[in-house]
Structure 1
Amino acid sequence: MSLKNAFLLSSLCTAMALTTSALADVKIGVITSSTGPIALVGIPQRNSVPLMPTQIGEHKVSYISLDDGSDPTASVKAFKKLIDEERVDAIIGPSGSPNAMGVIQFAAESGTPMLAPVGTAAVVLPMTEQKKWVFKTTQNDDLIAAALMEDMLAKGVKTLGFVGTADPYGENWSRVMTALAEENGIKIVASERFQRQDTSMTGQGLKILMAKPDAVLVAAPGSSAVMPQTTLFDQGYKGQVYQTHGAALDDFLRLGGRKVEGTILAASLMLVIDEVPDSHPSKPIAQDYINRYREMHGSTPATFGANVYDAGLLLEQAIPLASEAAKPGTPEFRAALRDALEQTTELAATQGVYSMTPEDHSGFDERGRELITVRGGKWTLLGEQ
């Protein structure tokens, strides 16, 4: 081969390598609890992965989905596998609040953006050097709590009972509501905890019943939100029961039946999408997600699934920006992706409208919540009859 031809071949190979490098695939890890105690949360999250974009700009996107069985220890193993073996550019998950809290340090150490579809605001607040790598795709507790407090005040509630899970979800809700109740002159007369896997809450229920609160707030995610309320119903409690957005799934209605009638919670528009005005910026995105999910899986998705889907929408906007700074598969790309996520502004998604800042890695405003009640065994806007 002549020197000229060799040079041309070398130049061609270099150009091809640069093109391939520039258009490298983006790899996204996903960890869900699609089996185990919080499978009602994890299953719709796992089922939402096939609905997420596989082409973003010039990049193909692949998703590596793992199940942690609702076990925080398994979450750590899955997280490390995605970072060390799969070399992913970002991770969506895990499903549970304790699971997510246990992997934040590994996201920070590896410089891998983590999009957490969990309830507790503790994954992003207070902001720290580690948590700057975490973005939360659910409404922060204080945004939901403020809506509940407004209703409590309107109903003249003076005393409140609280029962929550003995984990980051329940503890952060206890902290938020204690402060909010004090600010608004409401006295918390009973505060109880339970484990998600508990099969009886007779003792906690009786303590709350004896305190005779005007209302009770249950702070628990998924199916664990049901038993505290049905226990209180069976024990004869007649006051108003409030739930957090952790109870925002149709299985709550199915499992609770008539015993959860009249429940009030604040959650995303998805639960009552037919009643939400067409002018809401999230309605067409949420409706499209619901329709596509039903077509693929034959059922209506819980809002928990939408939290994973929204993570995909956030990445869809951020990846093209990050790829201007570095190529996928590199530490520089992951850092640029983190920066791009933090610059998200007015992104309408299924759960509301995201606008992130260095201090706010959830980014919701009032458009991310609706006051909702259970009427006739169905979710309905609180103000609708």
Structure 2
Amino acid sequence: MRFIRKCRLVLQAAALLCAVVFAANPAAGADSGKNPMKIGGIFSVTGPASFLGDPEKKSMELAIEEINAAGGVDGRMLEAVIYDTEGDPSKAVMAAGKLINKDQVTAIVGPSRTPTTLAVVPMVERAGLPFVSCAAGNKIVEPIKPWVFKTAQSDIQAVASIYAHLEKQGIDRIGTLTVANSFGESGREQLIEQAGDFGITVVRSESFGAGDTDMTSQLTKIRQEKPGAIICWGTNPGPAVVAKNVEQLGLDIPLYQSHGVASPKFIELAGDSAEGILLPTGKILVADLLPDDDPQKQVLTDYIDAYENKYDETVSGFGGYAYDAVYLLARAMAGTGGDKAKIRENLENIREHVGISGVFSFSQTDHNGLDPSAFVMVRITDGKWQLVK
């Protein structure tokens, strides 16, 4: 926490004079004779998943700018080398190959999506390279892979948050609609596995393709089973289509979405159909509504201010995944001289790191490091996020 605070205080004093585009300036504030330590970034900067990758790229640059303005890591600057995957697993593999073999990075942040992450994991494992994913799927870190960590909140915790809210509402019959990729499969597994713990019955389970433009057939089948609520699990644009189809069919039951749509883009895509939708999300969307004693509130406020002042756009929780990853790596790099094995070991021993996505405490058996406090439930009301007590 002191490390983060130091970086931010120095940044404010410097008035954001150190600009980073794709690479941090190696001469800013440190011994120019020391080579910078390179951190690779692989994000869906363009394409259908750009709502994930664009803020992640920008947040990585922002974090490196802050750290370098504070003197870098042990007096060495950090340098970002970023490639756009367009959300394509094959392009993610090519980008990872460049980072490992050509750019010789010390660590990699990203990719943005679960499928692209899983495609890259074998490469970083073979290379023995610290790797911090910005994707959410449980399979990224379960079972544990020594070199692989992630900052996005877990599907396990997201499902538990939704089910706890359903339990409070007395709803015990649900229908599920999940995207047919690794993120959706992970969510579906948790929805089924945890249902019994909350006395919930999944009366119908349907799926949809990531590029599908109409889900009325699946929703009609779910409606026939008379559930008390529907849970959709996916990332844009599919969940926004589901929201519109639910309204078109006149389904007057609660619709829950996953944390995969926790960004302004979902509200933009769903329009008026987003009204009343509930979902679990990191605290960033409701930072101003948090109590002052919440350990994340100041960190969130500082990040939001810095991001929105720099880029003149609304912040999203997805960017926070990359921002957390860079700060966690910077903390792990200290005192290692860039030794990858030592960085990996330090990452695994980080405790009580207050970040954007939660308070991280990694261990040999937990490479996500977050507990249920990383999530809050929100409802979309009048196009805005409202904290559900």
TM (normalized to structure 1)?
0.89
Structure 1 contact 124–132 (Cα < 8 Å) conserved = no
Q: Name the structure 2 match of 1:351.
A: 357
Is 1:305 the counterpart of 2:319? The answer is yes
Identity within the alignment, %: 32
Letter in 2 for 1:68: T
1:211 deviates by 2.0
Q: How does 1:1-385 map to 2 (within 5 A)?
A: 23-52=34-63, 53-54=67-68, 55-127=72-144, 131-321=145-335, 323=336, 327-328=337-338, 333-383=339-389
> Alpha-carbon deviations, 1:91-147, whole Å to 9, x = none?
0011111000111100100001111001211100122xxx22111101111112111
Structure 1 contact 352–364 (Cα < 8 Å) conserved = yes
1:21 deviates by 12
Any gaps of 5 or more consecutive residues in structure 1?
1-19
Q: Kindly tell me the number of residue pairs found equivalent between the two proteins.
A: 353
Letter in 2 for 1:382: V
Counterparts of 1:175 and 1:35, CA distance in 2? 29
Q: Name the structure 1 match of 2:24.
A: none
Any gaps of 5 or more consecutive residues in structure 2?
1-30
**CA shift in 2, pair 1:159/1:317, >3 Å:** same
Aligned-partner SS, 1:138 = coil
**CA shift in 2, pair 1:366/1:182, >3 Å:** closer
1:37 deviates by 1.3
Counterparts of 2:32 and 2:75, CA distance in 1? 12
Counterparts of 1:157 and 1:343, CA distance in 2? 40
Structure 1 contact 290–301 (Cα < 8 Å) conserved = yes
1:59 deviates by 1.5
1:23 deviates by 4.5
1:219 deviates by 0.7
Counterparts of 1:313 and 1:362, CA distance in 2? 15
Counterparts of 1:94 and 1:30, CA distance in 2? 7
Letter in 1 for 2:381: R
CA RMSD of aligned residues (A): 1.6
Counterparts of 2:127 and 2:342, CA distance in 1? 14
Which stretches of structure 1, 4 residues or longer, exceed 6 Å deviation after superposition? none
**CA shift in 2, pair 1:142/1:158, >3 Å:** same
Structure 2 contact 213–238 (Cα < 8 Å) conserved = no
Aligned-partner SS, 2:174 = strand
Counterparts of 1:302 and 1:223, CA distance in 2? 16
Greater shift in the superposed pair: 277-286 or 87-96: 277-286
Greater shift in the superposed pair: 41-50 or 298-307: 41-50
TM (normalized to structure 2)?
0.88
Aligned-partner SS, 1:315 = helix
1:183 deviates by 2.5
1:225 deviates by 2.2
Structure 2 contact 164–198 (Cα < 8 Å) conserved = no
Counterparts of 1:118 and 1:249, CA distance in 2? 14
Aligned-partner SS, 1:358 = coil
